[in-house]
Amino acid sequence: MEQVIKVEGMTCGHCKSAVEGALSKLDGVKSANVDLENKNVTVDFDDSKVSLVDMETAIEDQGYDVEK
Chain residues in the site for its own copies (CB under 8 A): 9, 11-15, 18, 63
Q: Which residues of 12-49 are buried (b: 16+ CB within 10 A; e: fewer)?
A: eeebbebbbebbeebeebeebebeeeebbbebebeeee
Which CB, 32 or 50, lies closer to its own copies? 32
Which CB, 18 or 50, lies closer to its own copies? 18
| Amino acid present at 64 | Y
Which CB, 14 or 68, lies closer to its own copies? 14
| Closest distance to its own copies from the beta carbon of 60 (Å) | 15
